[in-house]
Amino acid sequence: MKLNLVPARTGAIWVRLGVQTFLKQPLALAGLFFMFMALMSVATMVPLVGLPLAMTLLPAITLGLMAASREAAQGKFPMPLILLSAFRAGPVKLRAMLLLGGFYATGFLCAIGASYLIDDGGFARMYLGGQAPTTEMMSAGSFQMAMWTFIGLHLPLSLLFWHAPALVYWQNLPALKAMFFSIVACGRNFWALTVFAFLWMGIMVGAVLTVTAASAIFGSPSLASVMLFPALLLVAAMFFTSLYFTYRDSFEAPVDAGRQPD
């Protein structure tokens, strides 16, 4: 397996391909993303073990979205079962994927737990959706320290798992080796991923400003509250669609992963 070094401008290409691919199959990819969100939400509702269960399933379900992006990029219509690709890939890959999930869940819980110790769980409850943020809470020094602690711990964790599910599924790597090659590839293509991340943040901010401006133009404050969440979900769906291309261009594709022209 060969790692590819790509120029910084490739980050913009990944964003463009994600948007273009999403627009090829908007109903299918949006539907799959909403199914992904529903699966994660249902998993978190399981008493006692809901959050660890959801984090354990996250790499496998994310791989399903990447597989759907690959299908759409090839002009195919991704069916709902593609979300379960990792669970239908045979016992060896399934064990590796669940091991990835266990590692990710452990790392995530350590990161969120560290933030909990700093501000008595204020940031953790807000991040996990259990408490609405207030101005006083977000301006508190302990809250900000907890937030930056979580970000500092979660960022390297994210890089370890950025390509790992795809490497297990398409490159047949064991879990630990996939994590190693994932963070090495992210380091080698740091500037491309930086451009990729900043462009997606810009698109998200642009979506918020567009909805807010439309609300002001039409003189309807309630329009922003109604439209903002769906708009952000669509941006998130496009973001997840683009993840496949960050993997595809960072590694030499095996024969069965067939690269399609841009």
- CA gap 114, 118 in Å, rounded: 7
Q: What is the DSSP letter of 3?
A: B
For residue range 251-262, list pLDDT tens digits in order: 987 644 444 434
How far from chain centre, in Å, is Cα 94? 20
Q: What is the DSSP letter of 130?
A: S
According to the model, what pLDDT value does residue 9 have?
96
- CA gap 262, 253 in Å, rounded: 15
Confidence of residue 155 (pLDDT cuts 50, 70, 90): very high
Question: What is the average per-residue pLDDT within 40-64?
Answer: 93
Give me the chain's average pLDDT, please: 90
Torsion sign over Cα 35, 37, 38, 40: positive
User: Whole-model pTM?
Assistant: 0.89
- CA gap 94, 100 in Å, rounded: 10
Q: Which parts of 63-122 are beta strand (E)?
A: none
Structure-block tokens of residue 160: 């370890």
Query: Residue ranges per domain, the chain?
Result: 13-257
For residue range 177-226, list pLDDT tens digits in order: 999 999 999 999 999 999 999 999 999 999 989 888 887 887 777 777 77
